[in-house]
Amino acid sequence: MTQTSQWPVPADSVRYVLPAPAIKALAEHPLTRELYPLAFGHYRNALGHHMHREHHRDNLLIYCTDGRAFLNVEGKPYTAEAGDLILLPPGVSHRYTADPDKPWTIHWVHYAGPLASAFQDYMGFDSDNRLLHLGNQPRLLVDFNGLLSVRQTGFRTKGLVHAANRLRQLLTAVPLTLDASAIARQPDLEIIHNFMREHLEERITLEQLAELAGLSPAHFATRYRTQTGTTPIQHFIHLKVERACQLLDTTGLSFAQISTQLGYDDSYYFSRLFKKVMGQSPSHYRHTNRH
C-alpha cells in the first residue's frame, strides 16, 4: 500500500492514489515497468499537514511553491520553503509538519521502479542532501500538472502509461532546471563570455577573466567549472575553434592565416588544438565540408 498522509483533503486540493491492480499493471508493462507513479497530488495551504514514516517503502518527491514546512530526515533538520524540491527515497525515516502560521503549498508524487535510484543520482540528491533549491519553476509545475491530467480516466491503461512517462519527463527536467537556476544566479557569466567573443583575436589569461569577475584566479576557476563543467580557458579555446571552422567554411584563408588572425603565431600548435576539439585536422575539416 502507498504511504500517503491522511491529511483531510479540502476541495481545492487533490490526492490521487492508484489502486493495487493498476500499480501491478504498471510494474509489468514494458513501457512503464522501469519507473511508474503510485500516487500524486497538489495540496494548497496544507494547514495541519504532517507525516511520520519510520519505514518508508517508496520514493516521494515534493515541490514546495509557497509557505513553509519543517522536516527531519534521518535526524537531520530541514526547512522547506517556496522553490524547494525534496526527495525522500525508500528506507529513509522522516517526518514533516507544515508551518502552522504559513503552511506549505506542494505538488508531490510517490513513485517506484528499478530506475528510481538512478534518477535520484541524476537529479543531484544524495544521503547528505535531501533538498534542492530550484526557485519558481513553471516548467516543473507543467510536468506535475501533467500527472494530474490522468484523473477521471477510470484508471485506464493508456492514461496510466501516459502518466508514467510524464513522471520520467518531470525527473529528467530537474537537472536542466538546476542549470538554468545556477546561470540565473550568476549574471556575470554572460559578461565573461561576451568578453571572450570580443577578444577572439587575442590570447587572454585566466587572471584577466578573474579580474573581470572580481575574484581571485583560483576562486574564479573553481566557480566557473562548477557552473559550466569546463575551465574558462578551455571554453575560450572552443570559441576560437568554432571561429576557425567558420573561416575555413566561408573564406579561402590558409590555416596559417586563420591561426594568426586568432592570436596564434604557431599554426602547428593551433592545428593540434583544433584536432583535439574537432577530432580531425583543419585540412580534413575543410576538404570534408567542401566536398
Q: Following DSSP, what letter does each residue of 145-164 receive, concatenated?
A: HHHHTTTTSTT-HHHHHHHH
Integer Cα distance of 171 and 100 in angstroms = 30
16 class by beta-carbon count within 10 Å (0-12 exposed, 13-18 middle, 19+ buried): middle
Q: Which residue did the predictor score with more confidence, 93 or 215?
A: 93
Is residue 182 very low, low, confident or very high in pLDDT (cuts 50, 70, 90)?
low
Q: Which residue did the predictor score with more confidence, 233 or 7?
A: 233
Radius of gyration of the chain (CA): 25
For cell 557552473, the residue is: 227
Please check the confidence at residue 58 and state whether its pLDDT lies above 80.
yes
Quote the crossing angle between the two packed helices 232-250 and 206-213, to the nearest 10°: 110
Q: Which residues, listed in sequence order, are joined to residue 86 by a DSSP beta bridge? A: 62, 131
Integer Cα distance of 155 and 159 in angstroms = 7
Is residue 128 very low, low, confident or very high in pLDDT (cuts 50, 70, 90)?
confident
How many helices (H) and strands (E) the chain has is answered by 11, 10
Please check the confidence at residue 265 and state whether its pLDDT lies above 80.
yes
> What structural domains does the chain harbor?
14-184 (2.60.120.280), 188-290 (1.10.10.60)
Residue/partner pairs of 152-155 with CB below 8 Å, 24 or more apart: 155/18, 155/19, 155/22
C-alpha cell at 89: 527515497
Question: 9-29, pLDDT tens digit by residue?
Answer: 988 999 999 999 999 999 999
Please check the confidence at residue 290 and state whether its pLDDT lies above 80.
no
Question: 160-174, pLDDT tens digit by residue?
Answer: 999 999 999 999 999
What's the confidence (pLDDT) of residue 76?
Answer: 93
What stretches of the chain adopt beta strand conformation (E)?
A: 14-17, 36-43, 50-53, 59-66, 68-73, 76-81, 84-88, 94-98, 105-112, 131-133
Q: Which residue did the predictor score with more confidence, 196 or 188?
A: 196
Please check the confidence at residue 187 and state whether its pLDDT lies above 50.
no
